Structures are given as structure tokens and as C-alpha cells.
Structure 1
Amino acid sequence: MPLTDTDDARLVHAAQQGDTDSLTAIFRTHYRGMRSVANQILGPGPDAEDACQDAAMAALGRIRGLRDPSAVRAWLHTIVRNNCRMRLRAQRTVVMEIKADLPAPEVDGPERVVDRDADRDWVRFALGRLSPAVRPVAVLRYFSDRHSYEQIATLCGIPVGTVRSRLSEARRQLAIILPGVHDERHGDAAALTAQRRAEAAAILAGTAPGASERWAPNLVVHWPAGHRTSGPAALRAAVEQDWRLVDVVAGPDVTVWETVSATWLLIETNGQVHEVRVVHR
């Protein structure tokens, strides 16, 4: 029996209070309609499925901001439609800036800006609760410009199929984690990014005398073309080259440096970088 608008509103209100079962019920009820929207735009296949999965992930991060709970069906369909259109634009090689798969708010007033930034802090905080294997893939997918499956696979050194399975696992974990951590104290994502940007600029310019404290003694660096080095000394020699910084994405135990010529993926444990993967842009 299909849900009425009243049923939808009741489930959304419960989900906004952190009820995981209600979130599950919402997606179970509306997923077929979401998939139908994606199929109409992208055609049946894995791209449509991925667009729906990413839309569900975005909705998890924004459910508390839904103003009209009875309109959840239209809201979900809008997120799917936007995701599909972004995919089509990306396929046409239009230059885009996708810092996250979160939908834009309807009104971008000061209170919505604060709310949106808080949600981004919330999602990044939740990423820190993911299992280590899936965390880098999720950070790249939702917060970096290297968000396609092929780009993530190349940067992480894993097959595309593994990227898909890890993202699926990340979504499954986040569906459980996000509602439970919404009211916890979150770090300031903007402050962390600024700190990591300053650190990256200093290290790449060779002007960070204490930078060695950030590198684990057993650091492994995977360079382009399969070259691999061990230890911080080899990294310090390499950064004497021209690695002009363009952008930085900072997540829990994962940092992405975008330079003019390459993307760097830094993976940390206990505050120290133990693995770096570098690919040409």
C-alpha cells in the first residue's frame, strides 16, 4: 500500500530526529520512483543506479533541512535529477566545480549558509567513523574534483569495481552513522582545510622545517608510472621540484593536494601520513 503525504511527513519528522528505521523506510518507499527518474535521463544501467545511490547519500546529509516533510518525494526526485544532469555535463567535458554531492539550498541567505556549512562539517565528521578501507574513496567521491570512478581508481590504485563496492559500503555505513552523530560536536571543516592548505604550501615549497613530524618513518609514496619510494627523505627530495599548489581537500585522516601537474592523496594514521599516492592530472 503506497504511503500518503501524511505518512511521508511522519517518517520525515522521525528521520529528522535521528530515527534510522524511518530513513530506511523513506528510501525503500521512494527508491523505485528515484530510479525511474534516473532511467529517463541516463537510461537503464549502472550510471542510473549510481546517481540514485549518490542522491540517497546527499539526502541523508540534508534531511534535517527539508522544510516541507510531505514533499519528500518531489525533493528526492529533484536531487536525483540534479545528480543525473551533473553526470551528463561531466560526460560532455564541461568544466564543473563539484565539491560535494549535496544539493544546493533553495534560499542562500545567511542562515542557510550557516546551516549548509554545519551539514558539511557533520558529513565530514561522519566520514571519520567509516572503516579505513572505504574512507579515502568516500572523501574523493564527495569532496574532491577527482570524483569519477576512473579517477578514484587510478589515484587509489584499485580497480573500478572495487571503487564501486567500497562506495556502496560507505553509503551503507553512513546511513547508520549520520543520524547518530548529528548532535555531536563536530570539527570546523573550513578551519581544518585552511590548516592543511598552509601545511601543503609550506611542504611543497620546502619551507616547513618541522614537516618531518607529519611523515611516518615507514612512509610509502606511490609515484606516477609505478615508481615507489620509502621513507620521508625521498619525499623531501621530490618536493624540491615545481609542485605549485592549486587546491586542498581535508577530511578525517585523508588529505588531497591538487597541484598544477598532479593530485596527491595523503592517508594518515594517528596524525601521521603513512601513505601518499601521486597521479598526473
Structure 2
Amino acid sequence: MDLKQLQYFATVAKEGNISKAAKALHISQPPLSIQLKHLEEELGCVLFERGAREVELTEAGLLLYNRALSLLELSAITVQEISDLKNQTAGTLRLGAVSSVGSTLLNAWIVDLNKEYPDIHYEIFEGNTYEQIEQLKNHTIELAIVRSPFSTNDMHVIPLRTEPMMAVGNERFFSASSDEIPLSALADKPLILYRRWEDMILSAFSKQQLSCQIFCKNEDARTTLHWADAGLGIGIVPRSAVSLIRKPDTVCKKIADAELASRICLVYHENHYLSALAKLFLNYLTTHHCKD
């Protein structure tokens, strides 16, 4: 079993049809069918259930397909990394970022870096912190910008900055005119929050013996802000995320509670190779944007 066979197999699985796969691979159908037959003989199992027009993966085929995608991706990444060694200020950096950073702070950081290193290109993988950690483990990305809390097993963590949490919503939810409000001002108000911060928020309310009413839990700061913009409740988000507010009349206030804070961290896998570009980006962030 070699990479070419895996590429052929993965293309057939994706297309669901040997004829379509042959066209996508720019080869004729008979050699493709022969390669699939050789692969099945080598593995000693049937990979496809063949119908009149389409093929479907068997259980063994599905297992191989998932592995093949990872191996093919890793092969492409390895070729790219070796190519990048030729020029340590040019190439493609594979970087992960949570949405509340990728849509705000990261933009400004990349603008600054691009002025100095215009030949660096980027592949940005957005997702929540847990998804970013998995991407690191699978070698899909080299670095990730995430928010606490998260498991640090096998991860090297560089704190970049700590942000206070902000209350965002329609002015009818707020009585104070100042830019900062106590946690008590949010008691019994309909709160909209990112699910991972639920324990932290409930703990803060509990310590002050306050009642907490959660109207909506979600997986993205942008959803929190959209709902808050719509007047459905008070969104709780980190400070940098407030730049995503759409309506000019949406109120934003800092929550005066030291425990309600979010730490932005740059993380990478301790045992994985870091390219020259990844090291350059890491050094850039820690030198210019580390404020923790």
C-alpha cells in the first residue's frame, strides 16, 4: 500500500463512482479498478460495495478512508515543510484560531507581520479551543491561538494577554450609566454565553450569592453577539470580541469581577516539528503582542 493507491482509493470514496474518480484523477477507468483490486487483495478485505452506478464504503473501507485522508494530508504538509526550509521567510503557515480572536486581534497581527514578511501565506483553521487542540494533535496546524480554559497535556502554552469579560446588550437591560458594572447588575437578567464559560460564570454568581439566569448557551462568540445585538438578552464576551458588534446602539460594559476573565494563549504540541515560519510567527507574537 502506497500513497498513490491511497489517493486513488480516497478519490473513489469521495466521488462514489469509479468513472467519475478516473476523470478526476486524469486516468482511464481500467487501471483505477486494477489498483483498487490490488489494494483489497493486499488488505484481505472488501473496501467497496459495488452497485450498478455507485460504490459505497464498507466498514473496513470507511476506516481506511479516514486514515487515508490523514496520511495524504500529512504527506502534503511534509512536502510543504521541506520546501519551506529553502526560504525561511516565505511559504505557508498553518495557523488555528478561535473565532473571537481570528475575527478581531489576529487580523491586526497579520497586517503588521505582512508588512515585514509579505511572502508568507496563510492557511487559517477556525474553530473552538477543543477543535484547535485536536488539529494540533493531528498535525493539521502548527500553532493555535486559543482561550482558556483547556487541557495543557502535551502542549506548550504561551500566555499572550488576559482580557476582562464584557456585558453586551440593549440599553433596556442596563440601569447604570458608567462603563463598568458590578456582577449584581446582571442578576436575574437573560444571559447569553459561550458554553465553555458556563462554570466560570456560575461560580462567580454563586460566590456573591446571586441568581444567574442563562437564556442561551452556544459555541461561538459571534452567536452571542448576534443574539445580544437582536435584543434577546445580555451577551457575555471577552473584550476583544466587542469589535464584532454590529448595531451602534448596542451597549457594552466591563464586568467588575476579577474572576471573570479570559486568557488568550498561543499553543503548540511539545513533540511536533515547528517550521521556520511557525517559529518566526511565535517570536513575533511573543515580542510584540504578549501583554500578560
| Interval of TM-score (by shorter of Structure 1 and Structure 2) | under 0.3
TM-score, normalising length from structure 1?
0.27
Which of 1 and 2 has greater Rg?
2
TM-score, normalising length from structure 2?
0.26
Q: Tell me: higher relative CO, structure 1 or 2? Use CA pairs within 8 A at least 6 residues apart.
A: 2
| Between structures 1 and 2, the one with greater helix share | 1
